[in-house]
């Protein structure tokens, strides 16, 4: 929950004060400070900031100003304000980045590396590739991780293929064998024309356990160890990607075209 308040630009004291007043309305900042065991000056500062953000409603009383918390629904408005503020400054950030890049040649090469683990990382990469500007994904599939056998992943892969093909994104896949003809998601594998897919079978000499997905300036490497734990390495770099595409084309030209029984 603290992360949510942080995203809304609220300090820990402001979060605690807001929630305390929500459950203890019509109390002064000093009274709430005693409840929270917070020093009075911090409570007064937090109350003032919350008033400015319209998260508190003040009511002058003889014993001092008391407060009530605005409805928690107002947090949505605060989020929308933050979002609008961020979007309005997008141009400033982009200009700042352009200025930094113009000052040094070393920043002209954009290189990012991300390392993640598990099924969510796998799904994340597939979703990201649906935004391919080149409308082409190339892939070497060398092992079927156990995650692919779970119903949730099967449904995700099928729906991903439908979204990809409906967006006009073509995919070229190098597969180890034709095992997929009996796989749970064989529909999207054997109906190659429908799903904008071309498959070739790798030469038997090409023996590796890492799978690779390449699109635009991005390379996704899927690797599992002896325990079966999946690691996903994402590299965004146009020069690395160019090299990987060259490697893929070299192997592609030496692989066997797949004839789909559904379309013979």
Under CATH, which number does the domain 110-257 receive? 3.30.870.10
Which residues have CB under 8 Å from 95's CB, separation 6+?
A: none
Which residues have CB under 8 Å from 230's CB, separation 6+?
A: 117, 118, 119, 121, 122, 145, 147, 222, 223, 224
- Give start and end residues of each alpha helix (H) in the chain: 2-7, 12-23, 29-36, 40-52, 74-88, 90-103, 118-129, 151-166, 187-190, 238-253
Angle at 180 (CA atoms; ends 177, 182), nearest 5 degrees: 120
Number of H helices, E strands in the chain: 10, 11
Higher pLDDT, 99 or 137: 137
> Using 50, 70 and 90 to split pLDDT, how confident is the model at 237?
very high
CATH topology of domain 1-108: Arc Repressor Mutant, subunit A (1.10.10)
Region class of 220: left (phi > 0), else alpha (psi between -120 and 50), else beta? beta
Q: What is the pTM of this model?
A: 0.58
In the chain, where are the structural domains located?
A: 1-108, 110-257
pLDDT in tens, 124-174: 999 999 999 999 999 998 656 566 666 778 888 889 999 999 999 999 999
Predicted pLDDT at 227: 75
Question: For residue 65, what are the CA distances in angstroms to 38, 62, 68, 102, 161?
Answer: 18, 8, 10, 54, 60
Sheet strands side by side (includes 230-236) = 112-117, 230-236, 218-224, 211-215, 136-141, 170-175, 197-201, 256-257
Predicted pLDDT at 145: 53
Rounded Cα gap, residues 256 and 179, in angstroms: 15
């Amino acid at each position: 929950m603290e992360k949510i308040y942080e995203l809304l630009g609220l300090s820990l004291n402001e979060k605690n004060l807001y929630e305390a007043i929500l459950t203890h309305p019509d109390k002064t900042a000093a009274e709430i400070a005693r409840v929270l065991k917070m020093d009075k000056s911090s409570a007064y500062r937090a109350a003032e900031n919350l008033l400015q953000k319209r998260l508190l409603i003040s009511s002058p009383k003889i014993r001092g100003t008391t407060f009530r918390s605005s409805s928690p629904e107002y947090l949505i408005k605060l989020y929308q304000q933050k979002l609008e503020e961020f979007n309005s400054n997008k141009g400033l950030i982009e200009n700042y980045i352009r200025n930094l890049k113009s000052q040094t040649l070393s920043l002209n090469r954009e290189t990012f590396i991300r390392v993640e683990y598990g099924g969510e990382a796998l799904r994340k990469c597939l979703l990201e590739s649906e935004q391919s500007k080149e409308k082409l994904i190339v892939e070497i599939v060398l092992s079927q991780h156990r995650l692919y056998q779970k119903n949730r992943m099967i449904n995700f892969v099928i729906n991903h293929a439908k979204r990809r093909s409906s967006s006009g994104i073509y995919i070229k896949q190098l597969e180890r064998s034709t095992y997929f003809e009996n796989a749970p998601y064989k529909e999207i594998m054997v109906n190659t024309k429908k799903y904008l897919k071309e498959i070739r079978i790798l030469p038997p000499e090409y023996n590796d356990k890492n799978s690779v997905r390449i699109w635009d300036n991005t390379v996704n490497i899927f690797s599992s160890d002896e325990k079966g734990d999946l690691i996903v390495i994402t590299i965004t770099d146009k020069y690395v990607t160019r090299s990987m595409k060259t490697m893929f084309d070299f192997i592609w030209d030496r692989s066997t075209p797949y004839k789909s029984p559904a379309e013979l």
